[in-house]
Structure 1
């Protein structure tokens, strides 16, 4: 099991360099925020369009199949599973809530102790003698004016209605958009570019004495620390596999004890790595974020950045004009 290859969450794709790599990080951050905000209060068609747009961006960037196949494959499987689960679940419209207390307790307390007797039921042969001629007959089934049906499909005890299907599509597309747009952004943007772009965008906050540089440095170290966490966890899992432990003979209590020891060891290794990184930075003179700063990337909006921002503006115009859900 190689977590660094099978689960590349938050990792940067260095090769090949696609057209998305060449965009300014601030431009890609604007697109990311748009993908995160556009699904809210949007129609189902618009949310499906966002999913198709993300897939189109991945295909057009020519990202290798080995990189995004497992990410998009597992995420698509998760979204389909959640969507099917919500679709077959009861939609809640048939539930009639009953009040816990009567509406008027005073009237309820003044009711007589004995209830009025029920009217006597007519004998079964009264219908044969014409006694039921005055009863109301069942209304005939009239043809529907449209082809609308609230119940979309029914499979045994499972029923898919218009409400449950709409809710399933909304949640599944929202989950895919939120997770995959973030993964695609981290896949095509280096951690130094992300922090440089955020620091440039947060520059006006310096007037309010907010430590923008410290925040950017902390974010850079956090993004660089993600592969170390995966590597340490991977090494611990491999060390357990090499010992060929028979989990059936251990029992539940001993199994939990083993995994608690593994979690403690993982925490100790991560704290040791963090201490080593801090010592290395301190020896090299990085005692504060403002000293010995290294500019990794030069932020400059180029031609394609302005084109992408223009497309983003048109996207938001279309979203506000046709994609907003009307109540």
Structure 2
């Protein structure tokens, strides 16, 4: 079991260097916020279009198939499962209606509209339940995959540099912007260490061939409690070692020791990506409905 490979969500892809890698992190952050806000109060058609746009972006970047499969496979299956379960669930309309007109067999229906789309035994799919399933599944897909695609093509140092520059006006209120960005950088860099510690503990448990049936519920709970305790102790030890390493290298305050990781500069393609936000939001209000 290799968690660093089986759980690639949130990890940065260094190679190959795609066109999304070359975009300015501030531009990509603006598009990320757009994808997170655009589905709000939108209809099902627009949410399906957003999901399709994310898939097309992934195809145009020419990300390797192995990475694309890991990033998109489980998420697509999970969203499809949400769609099926929500569509088959009751839609909440339990009011009994009494027809005001004669039986439908006596009069031809005025239109071909049907509220019940599928019905077989206890399986019932209505228009409301299907629309609700599409809304929920596409919303989960858009929120998770857009964030994941941003993290996949943007280095943690670029993310923190972009956030620090965007939050620079808050320095007037004496907010520690540099300390916040440094903390965010360390947090993003600490995620692989957490996965590595979990992986090592899982391997140590598997090599001991513990008989869980003989331990019972109480014994198994005690073993997992010890594992969690060891995990927290190892993570605190890693954090302490990181703090000591920073202190020995002079990271005492942002004014005394500051490293500029990236020089942010907007080029022609960045400006084109920013200008593309205007037709995007125009389509949002035209196809997605008024907010």
With 303-312 and 172-181 compared, the bigger mean Cα shift is at 303-312
Structure 1 SS opposite 2:160: helix
Corresponding position: 1:284 with 2:236: no
Kept after mapping to 2: 8 A contact 1:213/1:290: no
Take 1:319 and 1:178, find their aligned partners in 2: how far apart are those partners?
16
Question: Matches of residues 1-327 of structure 1 in structure 2 within 5 Å?
Answer: 1-95=1-95, 139=103, 141=105, 142-324=107-289
8 A contact 1:19–1:61 mirrored in 2: yes
**Aligned-partner Cα distance in 2 for 1:161–1:324:** 22
Question: Whole-Å Cα distance in 2 between the matches of residues 58 and 290 of structure 1?
Answer: 40
Which has the larger displacement, 168-177 or 64-73? 64-73
2:250–2:257 contact (8 Å) kept in structure 1: yes
Query: Secondary structure of 1:21's partner?
Result: helix
Looking at structure 2, the residues matched to 95 and 254 of structure 1 have their Cα atoms a distance apart, in angstroms, of 51
8 Å CA contact 2:82–2:137 kept in 1: the answer is yes
SS at match of 2:119: strand
TM-score by length of 2: 0.95
- 1:82 deviation in Å? 1.0
State the alpha-carbon separation in 1 of the partners of residues 244 and 32 from structure 2.
35
For the structure 1 residues 156 and 276, does the alpha-carbon distance in structure 2 shift closer, same or farther, using more than 3 Å as the test? same
**Structure 1 position 322, deviation (Å):** 2.8
Distance of 2:255 and 2:119 partners within structure 1: 64
TM-score, length of structure 1 as denominator length: 0.85
Instruction: Flag the structure with larger Rg.
Output: 1
User: For residues 48 and 160 of structure 2, what CA distance do their matches in structure 1 show?
Assistant: 31
Q: Which runs of 4+ in 1 moved over 4 A?
A: 137-140
Distance in structure 1 (CA, Å) of the matches to 2:53 and 2:93: 34
Deviates further, 194-203 or 138-147: 138-147
Q: 1:290 deviation in Å?
A: 3.0
Please state how far the C-alpha of 1:240 moved relative to its aligned partner: 0.5
